[in-house]
Amino acid sequence: MTERQARGRHSAAPDPRAERRSIAVDDLPALARGCAVMGAGGGGDPQVGVLMAREALQQHGPVPLVGLDDLPADGLVMPCGLVGAPTIAIEKLQNGGEGARLVAETETLTGRPVVAIMPFEIGGSNGLIPLNWAARLGLPYVDADGMGRAFPTLPQMTMNLAGVPSSPCVMTDERLNTLVIRTGCVEWTERLLRTSTAAFGGAAVAALYLMDVATARRATVPGSVSRALDLGTALSRNGDDPIDTVVDELAAVELIRGKVIDVERETAGGSVRGSAIVEDNTGEGRLLRLEIQNENLAALEDGEVRACVPDVITVIDARTGEPIVTERLRYGQRVGVIAFPGPEVWRTPEGLAVAGPGAFGLRFPYTPIAPAPVDTGAVRAS
Amino acid sequence: MRADLRLGIDVGGTNTDAVVVDRDDVLLAKAKAPTTPDVTTGIAASIEAVLAALGPAPGRITHAMLGTTHAANAVVARSGLRRVAVLRIGGPATHAVPPLATFPPDLRAAVSAGETVVGGGIEFDGTEVAPFDAETAARFFSDVAGRADAVAITSVFSAVSDRHELAAEAIARSVLGDVHVSLSHEVGSIGLVERENATVLNAALAGVAETVAQSFGEALERHDLHPARYFTQNDGTLMEREYALRYPVLTIGCGPANSMRGAAHVSGVRDALVADVGGTSTEVGVLINGFPVETGDPVGIGGVRTNFRMPGLVTLPLGGGTVVGDGALGPHSVGYRLTESALAFGGSTPTLTDAAVSGGRVDVGRTRPAARHRGALAEALARSDAMLAEAIDQAKVVRGEQPLIVVGGGGFLVPDDVPGVSEILRPPDHEVANALGAAIGQVSGQVERIVRFRAGGRAAAIEEACESARLQAVRAGADPERTEIVDIEEVPLAYLTDPAMRIRAKAAGPLRLT
């Protein structure tokens, strides 16, 4: 892809008539980088997804990437991905047949063929994991997802906001043990799925929010796979400053550039909570504090919220351009912290109710991303 | 006459250094010999030279420690590697990424005698992914008999329980007889692909390890020396010879750790930055509590992704032999030919050593570089200073000013004033810091666990991990009375309902002297 094309695509809402493309082995590193940036520090390291997809693509060839407008309106879309702990998924790798099992069970439950596989979460490893299933099944990959980023729970999917039922939810594992969860509301699906995930060994795969293409067109975040691909491709260009590249590609704001000087972590109720402090490298003594709960939830400076969920906050290695997941944050890293707006739907009152600061126990209201302090009227020497 | 001396040897890219220290770690003799392509000849020459420097009483040497590049060279050159039967225990999980899928094809061709995945493996809570399929494992070993001269066994979550790996080892031995077997729980940490890669490399290196151990022994016996022999590993600690024969891959990157441990010793400072400036490259790392700070990032060895714990280093292509030319500074270096090629030694190639001579930082060689070179040399020195300052700043892991210990033959390149550095320490004998690091090495043990616990269980889990690490250090040759926990790391697992933690504990102690 040329630079002009890459830049053209992100600038506005994704063009539904964007040229068809496919995902081949050579695209995987770029897709992984893009997914990691969109993961907001969570969602797991995409590398394991790259390894699995590479095997599948080498055997079965490239996977078509299709927009929802290119699929028949009454076709059945299967949103799917990994649930549970990414750390377990890098040790107990998948069988590879899980996707086929999800599709078979889905087709039995609905009596309809699945026409395409959709990642329910673009951020982190889940942007790539369903790709190996698509390759093995010969199904296209939908250029959309249910989050536009990474989030920890099932209610935090755009399909929920659009009123698509989460039930039936199909879970399976490498043994092809299969569980169908039927509930009346997503909160129960979440509760039963989490408990079952522990029984499956701490990680499993799931398909839920089964819907037809017409519904998916209004219930998902369109263009997220191409967005990740374009972003990763731009980040892989040599010579450019990686943080500037992300800022350009995503219309992101650079919150700070400097060094991680403190990281605190604790495990509470199944999530990694903690905070990290980044000190700016201009000698002005600015400090940015990141609030973490699996993902980066908020960035605060001088007691003011500079950015918070549902907007995406990502820490990027200043030298290599590699996004740094929250589990890997440590003293001394040279980083840039960037923020960019999450999908519009999350900033509605309904969206904020499930994915805003309050939904994560933070005691402040949603605050749009604040540009650099120099633009906020703060007193600066220069 | 007391028998209480230790010989330390470290093979570097340019020189092989050797030292002799007494039981109080006081340096008695030091020597350098050029590193040779076969490595072994250079080791023998350095032993010869250091014994000459020591004078009488070489018979007092009771321990000999070697840090060598044999293993790394063998992997990079794909030579001398054993053919490995690669068994993974994890089916029906893990098939999505087959064994050795991430090896470069030529390395895979050089080491693989066959690969398979059999049923079994452990869940992180200690239950089984599936029962271990002993029958299929036995059939696999029968199939590769005659082709395989080593075995690598990797089970899912062997850090939680090693029982399936041990069962498979017994089968391998009954089918293949007396063959080298590498077990993943003894080699690597969480992350199946990376640990399996490391385990296969370890098995492939078994022959190299035997060759090294034998030639080291012969070089010592030529001088009628029969000391206990040790090898240094990636974290700067020692392994007894028997242990090194089983885990050669753990020696694959021992050089930087040796020089950092040696820097702590010669300076007497345990918390500092260290810059090791050699002939071709410079490595900057951080010492905390006398040990190098390690990186958690994947480490590539010969094109293979592994998850070894190695010192976290910032590496620069700058050293005393770096050629000063028109283009960028580094990586081109005159290497060990410095004393023929550099201007200061009457040669015709301007080097960073000449820049330092010209700038008055060091007085070596026979002559000062001619005036016409001075402009370019001054410019190169300024650029080198800026690159060093940047690397030192990047290496820091805590805020504030810290001391910087400068070691290595090219240490004079580091200026007396570096931003963010409180003081520059240039200890005596710094040029043999790496061999000293080998000679004074401690013995360590390390364990990694994934544990689930309710309130109150954390302390018990950590205590268990520490005790296991301590036991492992003692088994590897540490003095049980003086073995201490030097590092504990806890990382919570994200996205789990019940709290779980990855715990890593490392213990180290001085050699048990008998």
Per-residue pLDDT tens for A18-38? 455 899 999 999 999 999 999
Write phi, then psi, for B200 (nearest 5 degrees).
-65, -45
Contact state of B496 with A259 under an 8 Å Cβ cutoff: no
Long-range contacts of A316-319 (CB under 8 A, 24+ apart): A316/A37, A316/A242, A316/A243, A316/A246, A317/A242, A318/A242, A318/A243, A318/A257, A319/B394
Does the pLDDT at position A127 exceed 90?
A: yes
Task: Report the residue of B496, B502, B504 to disrupt the A interface, i.e. the one with the largest count of A CBs within 10 Å.
Answer: B496
| Per-residue pLDDT at A378 exceeds 50 | no
| Distance from the B161 Cα atom to the nearest Cα atom in chain A, whole angstroms | 13
Phi/psi of residue B486, nearest 5 degrees: -105, -15
Q: In chain A, what residues touch B121 (CB-CB under 8 Å)?
A: 92
Disruptive mutation site among A48, A55, A58, A91 for chain B (greatest number of B CBs within 10 Å): A91
In this prediction, residue A171 has a pLDDT band, given cuts at 50, 70 and 90, of: very high
Which helix (H) or strand (E) segment holds residue B449: the answer is strand B443-452
CA angle B102, B103, B109 (to 5 degrees): 140
Same structural domain, B188 and B234: no
Q: The domain at A241-361 falls in which architecture? A: Beta Barrel (2.40)
Query: Which band of pLDDT confidence, cut at 50, 70 and 90, is reported for residue A269?
Result: low
- What pLDDT, on a 0 to 100 scale, did the predictor assign at position A65? 97
Chain B's closest residue to A42, CA to CA, is: B494
In a domain, B216, yes or no: yes
CA distances from B330 to A186, B262, B327, B391 (A): 60, 26, 9, 14
Question: Measured between CB atoms, does A317 come within 8 Å of chain B?
Answer: no
In 3D space, the residue among B320, B194, B198, B335 whose CA is nearest the CA of residue B253 turns out to be B198
The answer to whether the CB atoms of A95 and B193 lie below 8 A apart is no
Task: Using a CB–CB cutoff of 8 Å, tell me whether B94 touches chain A.
Answer: yes
Dihedral of alpha carbons B473, B43, B254, B266, sign: positive
Is A92 in the B-facing interface, judged by CB distances under 8 Å?
A: yes
Confidence of residue A379 (pLDDT cuts 50, 70, 90): very low
Tell me whether residues A90 and B130 touch, CB distance under 8 A: no
* Chain A residues touching residue B96 (CB < 8 angstroms): 51-52, 55-56, 93-96, 132
pLDDT of residue A1: 37
For residues B512 and B443, give the distance between their C-alpha atoms in angstroms, rounded to a whole number.
9
pLDDT of residue A373: 58
The answer to whether the Cβ–Cβ distance between B499 and A96 falls below 8 Å is: no
**Taking a C-beta distance cutoff of 8 angstroms, is the pair B87, B154 a contact?**
yes
Among B186, B204, B222, identify where a domain stops. B204
Residues in chain A closer than 8 A to B92 (CB atoms): 95, 174-176
For A299, residues 6+ apart whose C-beta sits below 8 A from its C-beta are: A255, A288, A289, A290, A291, A305, A306, A307, A308, A313, A337, A339
What does the alpha-carbon distance between residue B163 and residue B131 come to, in Å, rounded to a whole number? 11
CB contact A275 to B (< 8 Å) = no
Q: From B397, B377, B374, select the one nearest B385 (Cα to Cα).
A: B377
Q: How many domains does chain B have?
A: 4
Contact across the interface for A94 and B96, Cβ inside 8 Å = yes
B27 lies in the same domain as B174: no
Look at B498 and A201 and tell me if their CB atoms are within 8 Å. no
Contact B414, B275 (CB under 8 A): yes
Tell me if A198 and B190 make a contact (CB, 8 A cut-off).
no
**Residues making up chain A, counted from first to last:** 382
Among B170, B204, B238, the domain boundary falls at B204
Q: How far apart are CA B131 and CA B240, in angstroms?
A: 36
Question: Residue B95 and residue A96: Cβ atoms within 8 Å?
Answer: yes
Any idea which of A62-76, A177-191, A259-273, B471-485 has the lowest mean pLDDT?
A259-273
B101 → closest Cβ in A55, A176, A328: A55
| Residue B259 placed within a domain | no
In whole angstroms, how far apart are CA A353 and each of A309, A345, A346, A360, B511? 11, 11, 9, 10, 61
Terminal-to-terminal C-alpha distance of chain B: 16
Quote the DSSP letter at residue B512.
-
Q: Residue B210's CB: how many other CB atoms inside 10 A?
A: 14
User: Quick one: pLDDT at residue B458?
Assistant: 74
Asked whether residue B431 is domain-assigned, the answer is no
Cα–Cα distance, B40 to B46 (Å, whole number): 10
Annotated domain spans of chain A? 4-8+20-226, 241-361
CA distance B355 to B415: 12
Q: Mark whether B214 and B68 lie in a shared domain.
A: yes
ipTM of the complex: 0.88
Tokens representing A162? Answer: 């659009």
- Which residues of chain B are within 8 Å of residue A206 when distances are taken between CB atoms? none
- pLDDT mean over A54-81: 97
Return d(Cα B308, Cα A46) in angstroms, integer.
20
Return the ∠ at Cα B467 (arms to B466 and B472), rounded to 5°. Answer: 100
Identify each DSSP E strand in B271-349 by its residue range. 272-277, 282-288, 291-292, 294-295, 299-301, 304-306, 310-311, 314-316
pLDDT at A226: 96
Q: What share of chain B in percent tops pLDDT 90?
A: 56
Closest approach of chain B CAs to the CA of A12, in angstroms? 33
Assess B501–A contact: CB distance below 8 Å, yes or no.
yes
Residues in B closer than 8 angstroms to A55, CB to CB, are 96-98, 101
Rounded Cα distance between A147 and A154, Å, is: 10
Is B435 within the bounds of a domain?
Answer: no
- B98 and B182 both lie in a single domain: yes
Residues of B in contact with A293 (CB under 8 A): none
For chain B, state the CA radius of gyration.
Answer: 24
Q: Is B126 on the interface with A (CB under 8 A)?
A: no
Residues B191 and B108 in one domain: yes
Model pLDDT, residue A17: 39
Strands (E), A269-358: 271-280, 287-293, 295-301, 304-308, 312-317, 334-340
Q: Do A96 and B98 touch (CB under 8 A)?
A: no
pLDDT at A5 over 70: no
| DSSP states of A261-293 | EEEEEEEETTEEEEEEEEEESSSS--EEEEEEE
Same domain assignment for residues B178 and B98 = yes
B298 and B367 co-located in one domain: yes
Closest Cα in chain B, distance from residue A262 (Å): 9
Q: Which two tokens stand for residue B397?
A: 């892991």
Q: Which residue has the tokens 């700038």?
A: B359
Q: Judge: B102–A52 Cβ closer than 8 Å, yes or no.
A: no
- Give the minimum alpha-carbon distance from A263 to chain B in angstroms, rounded to a whole number: 11
Q: Would you call A270 and B97 a contact, using CB atoms and an 8 Å cutoff?
A: no
A281-338 tens-digit pLDDT: 887 889 999 999 889 999 999 999 999 999 999 999 887 788 998 888 887 788 999 9
Burial string for B458-479 (b: 16+ CB within 10 Å, else e) reads beebbeebbebbbbbbbebbbe
Instruction: Note down the domain range covering B382.
Output: 268-426
Q: How close does chain A come to B189, measured CA to CA in Å?
A: 10
Judge if B244 and B301 occupy the same domain.
no
Instruction: Name the DSSP letter for residue B39.
Output: S
Asked whether the beta carbons of A370 and A376 are under 8 A apart, the reply is yes
Verify whether the Cβ–Cβ distance B93 to A271 is below 8 Å. no
* Interchain contact B387–A (C-beta under 8 A): no
pTM flag (> 0.95):
no
3-state secondary structure of B233: coil
Inter-chain residue contact B101 with A331, CB threshold 8 Å = no
User: Positive or negative, the Cα torsion across B171, B161, B203, B44?
Assistant: negative
Flag whether residue A191 sits within 8 Å of chain B, measured between CB atoms.
no
Tell me which chain A residues have a C-beta less than 8 angstroms from the C-beta of B95: 93-97, 174
- The answer to whether residue B371 is domain-embedded is yes
In B, minimum Cα distance to A330 occurs at B397
Model pLDDT, residue A266: 72
- Inter-chain residue contact A90 with B496, CB threshold 8 Å: no
Q: Does the distance separating the beta carbons of B296 and A56 come in below 8 Å?
A: no
Is there a single domain that holds both residue B110 and residue B1?
no
Q: Which CATH superfamily, name and number, covers A4-8+20-226? A: CV3147-like domain (3.40.1610.10)
Residue of B nearest to A334 (CA): B394
- Shortest distance, CA B124 to any CA of chain A (angstroms): 7
Q: Do B97 and A51 touch (CB under 8 A)?
A: yes
How far apart CA B307 and CA B286 sit, in angstroms, is: 20
Q: Which residue has the tokens 């008055």?
A: B360
Q: Is B94's CB within 8 Å of A85's CB? A: no
Q: Judge whether B315 is closer than 8 Å to chain A, CB to CB.
A: no
Q: What is the pLDDT of residue A186?
A: 97
Rounded to an integer, what distance in angstroms lies between the CA atom of residue B454 and that of residue B462? 13
Measure in Å the smallest separation between the Cα of A279 and chain B Cα atoms.
Answer: 10
Q: What is the pLDDT along chain B (514 residues), one digit of tens a residue?
A: 567 899 999 988 778 999 999 988 999 999 999 888 888 899 999 999 999 999 887 788 999 999 988 888 888 888 899 999 999 999 999 999 999 999 999 999 999 999 999 999 999 888 999 999 999 999 999 999 999 999 999 999 998 889 999 999 999 999 999 999 999 998 888 899 999 999 999 999 999 999 989 989 999 998 899 999 999 988 888 988 888 899 899 888 788 888 999 999 999 999 999 999 988 889 999 998 888 887 766 777 778 888 777 788 888 889 999 999 877 787 888 877 888 899 999 999 999 999 999 999 999 988 888 889 999 999 999 999 999 998 898 888 776 789 999 998 899 999 999 988 999 999 999 989 999 999 998 888 888 877 776 656 777 888 888 999 999 899 888 999 999 988 887 777 767 766 777 888 889 998 887 6
CA distance A216 to A68: 7
Within 8 A of B125 by CB-CB distance, chain A residues are 201-202
Number of A/B CB contacts below 8 angstroms equals: 149
Q: Is A374 on the interface with B (CB under 8 A)?
A: no
d(CA B437, CA B9): 9
- Closest partner residue to A93 (CB to CB) among B93, B450, B501 is B93
Q: Does B94 share its domain with B214?
A: no
- Report the residue from A84, A95, A326 with minimal CB separation from B95: A95
- The number of CA neighbours under 13 Å toward the Cβ of B203 is 29
- Cβ–Cβ contact B498 with A under 8 A: yes
B396, B426, B456 - which closes a domain? B426
Say whether both B220 and B295 belong to one domain.
Answer: no
Chain A residue with minimum CA distance to B499: A270
d(CA A60, CA A136): 6
Within 8 A of A259 by CB-CB distance, chain B residues are 396, 399
pLDDT at B455 (0 to 100): 57
In Å, how far from its chain's centre is CA B310? 7
pLDDT band at A9 (very low <50, low <70, confident <90, very high): very low
